[in-house]
Structure 1
């Protein structure tokens, strides 16, 4: 992508005013995005994005610059401009490069760039037909297709030199059901760190029908009561609550500044013994998985909470300096336009010993949330507010009528303490996570869990 001699010159220029570390991130990304509505392709966009990010450290100071001009004089100018914000007494030279190689943990068999658009459109139309024909009340279906190939080169003044190819594919299906001037939506968005083979092996019928079933079910739902109840949260995307309300609080971006309720608590009990919380970027072909992070560190399995005890944090290279702890392979960024910081990959609650049937049967009265919607969280406190896309009443250990308008309100660390049953059925859900280093692909996951008491906001009192 760039010659080693040019990269060495850029790293040297970035250190020219006394920095103690410099890094270059080179990115060449190809993307394809299409949408289909009313059975017709509505948008079809493809593009290529190329750029270089340059970073310099001096102690606890970090400076970042980027450019889309890869001519030598432009790169040297960008590096020197970044260096101007740094001042030091001694000038160091970059260490000789040691080129690293690895075997990808996420095999790709069919590069999307090599697949004709007609095959991609066929996938979309099949999903549309299945979702639209699910029931006469389904008035509209939108299918969105996405694939990308991201090629990166990362080198730094410590001698690191490593390259990676990341290929991701995703399909998003949204169904709208209408009856008597009432409208409800259902959504499913599976994705993977895979090539076009992901779509060919995808259980398309399941995801398309599930989006429509959700919308149709909510047409017949009753208003959700408000109050404090035991709440059962199903697997897969149900894990978004702990991703937002706990996962972000375990990232060094917050911990290093003591802006997290989990700061300085390693070794303390923060959850019941039945809760183990993990971030694992090595899970094969999962949407949030990586081979290396965006600082060139190998992906790994990070156990954050083990049997209720806080064991560690997600740490990037810069915050490792502040914390005096090693990087955990968690430095991620959206693109060359962002400096990396500590971010999640595939974060989930590990499987427990209960079956879903046992969890429901042991709940005399409460709320069962099958699918979560969007929400808001304050990462400094863990306070959250999440909409529920599909919920049900639980009465006498059995599922009852569907409920709409439910929201879950609480505090992440406190909610974590109230988990009293953990199921066996671990599942992952694909999503995008936005933070200071941009929007990145992540998985959220968990088995079915029960929280002994949560504040549920509804549409009427009880």
Structure 2
């Protein structure tokens, strides 16, 4: 990492043309990626990326530059080139950096850098064996283990100096079932802000069998009907619906420029009174957690919606300036190649008092979305479209036959208002979220909940 004297020179060079704030983000990251296809190791990659990003602000106008050339003269010249995009002049800074103190909430017991590939391969073989025997129609398996360790230094012209080391581990398991011309996949991808202990403590066989069960069940399923139905959405990664359909619209990246349907609605009832939604970057060892965000601010627990009332947004530094509201520890970026932006960490709907069984029993005819897939959203309108990876019909208050090809279509605002039952079984699922500051690990969570009416895109049985 860079020494304070050099950092001071870089920040002075960044501000010599008139910016009012400058920041550097230094990253030293090591990635390890092992992959197995059909029980055979077919990928063993590792790499190191080391570089620096330099951001300059003038009001809400931002200039960003990055480089992997860490020679002193080149860093200073890069800062000066970026500064030329701004007009004006600034005096020299004399900085006394203040080391940010924070609690490390994420103990790492077995650093991936100390683990042998042979042990990881043993764990991958366990997953492969469980996948291939999970259902008689499984024809292909894929297993991967991804680790990365990221050391960061964040310093700025306000005198902030923050350093941290982040460690992430994830295991991806997928199976493909084939029945004649029909092919369906099943997937599990548990991950955490943790080391190899995540895998050593995990019931890998159970996770793998679940992926195989999904593939084997859905390959024989008929097609989902289309129309408007009550939908019961399972806990855990079912929270991706809120994440995409509403969460992105609560980020200052969209709110601050008026490109969100939630802009100007603080204090208003935007959801069912049963809905309380939270983004929490402090959950110990959670996949989306951080000690400090990528602007050097400690992460925090942010209540976004409370009993249906909009209480807050996710705000980074630029959003704070634009909206005249304090930042919320939500500035994140994939790497030094990206400027930070307001992003989610671990976003979830809080528990209610209903049970899954009550929701099913109180649904005469509808859809049970047991496993959600990916989707997309327009933050300006909250229009969304989501695939359901594993779905079932609900008939006469009971879960009936599986159906495939079901898609949830609607508006985030309307879906929030139509939630009429919220479960008591909060859980979280792991995913990667892409936005303007890159792809980031996030948790999506919720208890099982019911939406009284949603549009299902599907087709009648073939």
Coarse TM-score class (shorter-chain normalised): over 0.9
Inter-partner Cα distance in structure 1 for 2:363 and 2:166: 44
Structure 2 distance, partners of 1:408, 1:375, is: 9
Structure 1: gaps (5+ residues): none
TM-score, reference length from structure 1: 0.98
Q: Give the structure 1 partner of residue 142 of structure 2.
A: 142
CA distance in 1, matches of 2:379, 2:125: 40
SS in 2 for 1:347: strand
Q: Is the Cα–Cα contact under 8 Å of residues 236 and 428 in structure 1 kept in the other structure?
A: yes
Bigger drift between 130-139 and 320-329 goes to 130-139
**Residue 91 of structure 1, CA deviation:** 2.8
Which residue number in structure 1 is paired with residue 452 of structure 2?
452
Correspondence 1:11-410 to 2 at 5 A: 11-91=11-91, 93=93, 95-410=95-410
How far apart in 2 are the matches of 1:429 and 1:132?
23
Give CA-to-partner distance per residue, 1:114-150, whole Å, 9 cap, x none: 1111111111111011111112211110001100000
Report the Cα distance in structure 1 between the residues aligned to 2:279 and 2:354, rounded to whole angstroms: 22
Contact 1:105 1:285 in 2 (8 A): yes
Note if contact 2:316-2:329 (Cα within 8 Å) is conserved in structure 1: yes
Contact 1:434–1:440 at 8 Å: present in 2 too? yes
SS in 2 for 1:53: strand
Work out whether residues 277 and 348 of structure 2, in 8 Å CA contact, stay in contact via their aligned partners in 1.
Answer: yes
- In structure 2, what is the Cα distance between the partners aligned to 1:258 and 1:90? 32
What is the rounded CA distance, in whole Å, between the counterparts of 1:258 and 1:366 in structure 2? Answer: 36
Cα deviation for residue 361 of structure 1 reads 1.0
In structure 2, how many angstroms separate the alpha carbons of the residues matched to 1:90 and 1:302? 36
Residue 461 of structure 1 and its aligned partner are, at CA, apart by 8.4
SS of the equivalent of 1:56 reads strand
If the length of structure 2 is used for normalisation, what is the TM-score?
0.98
Q: Cα deviation per residue 1:306-363 (whole Å; 9 max; x = unaligned)?
A: 0100000000011100000010000000000000000000000001000111111111
Secondary structure class of the residue paired with 1:266: coil
Deviations 1:161-198 (A, max 9, x none): 01011000001111011122221110111100001101
CA contact (8 A) 2:14 2:80 kept: yes
Match of 2:10, SS? helix
Superposed CA RMSD: 1.2
> What is the deviation of 1:221?
1.2
Distance (whole Å) between structure 1 residues aligned to residue 240 and residue 86 of structure 2: 39
CA–CA distance in 2 between the matches of 1:434 and 1:135?
33
Paired residues of 1:19 and 1:91 also in contact (CA < 8 A): no
CA distance in 1, matches of 2:431, 2:52: 26
3-state SS of 1:298 partner: coil
State the distance in 2 between where 1:288 and 1:91 align. Answer: 39
Give the CA deviation at 1:205: 1.7
Q: Could you tell me whether the CA contact under 8 Å between 1:11 and 1:94 is conserved in 2?
A: no
Equivalent pairs counted in the alignment come to 462
Shift of 1:94: 5.1
- Superposition deviation, residue 92 in structure 1: 5.4
**Cα distance in 2, alignment partners of residues 364 and 28 from structure 1:** 55
- How many Å apart are 1:89 and its aligned residue? 4.8
What runs of 5+ residues in structure 2 fail to find an aligned partner? none
Query: How far is the alpha carbon of 1:23 from its aligned partner?
Result: 0.4
Q: Distance in 1 between matches of 2:298 and 2:142?
A: 37
Q: Secondary structure at the match of 1:136?
A: coil
Q: Which runs of 4+ in 1 moved over 2 A?
A: 88-92
- 1:292 counterpart SS class: coil
Contact map agreement 2:16 2:90 (CA 8 A) in 1: no
Shift of 1:417: 0.7
Provide the C-alpha distance between the structure 2 equivalents of 1:135 and 1:408, rounded to a whole number of angstroms. Answer: 28
